[in-house]
Homo-oligomer: A and B are copies of this chain.
Amino acid sequence: MVTYHRHNMDEVFRALADPNRRRLLDQLADTDGLSLGKLCEVLPDMTRFGVMKHLAVLEGAHLITTERHGRRKLHYLNPVPIQVIHDRWISRYATPFTEALASLANKPSTEADHDCTPTHLRDVHQGNAG
């Protein structure tokens, strides 16, 4: 019996909540298998220790995996927890209605002003221009 599908959603969401950590993931999505030193270049305003901590959080959430190669530690993106989140949580709310609304929301045009949205969704629309 394997248990790797029991990803802790708390940890995954919390890990994803930080823009620095998302940046690290994005970097690994672009170039996988980077060392700590290389990943430090992605977050130049932070010390090596800060980056280490963020990577530890990502690893704790199983969003990345690591492999030691000599004196270097290589970091690999692991997209499984994200897929799991999608499958068992996000798809619940991604109804056709939502998809239509979201695609509508992505258009900056006046079409969105037709506003066939229920009243309790209206406040989402109150963006200021600029």
Contact = CB atoms under 8 A, between A and B. Distances in A.
Copies of this chain, complex-wide, total 2
Consensus secondary structure, chain A interface: helix
Contacts of A36: none
A44 to B, nearest CB: 20
Interface in A78-130: 78-80, 82-87, 89-90, 92-95, 98-99, 101-102, 105-106, 108, 112-113, 118-130
Contacts of A102: 80, 83-84, 87
Given A93-B83, A105-B80, A130-B1, A67 B19 contact: no
A46 interface: no
A76 B90 CA distance: 17
Contacts of A79: 93-95, 98
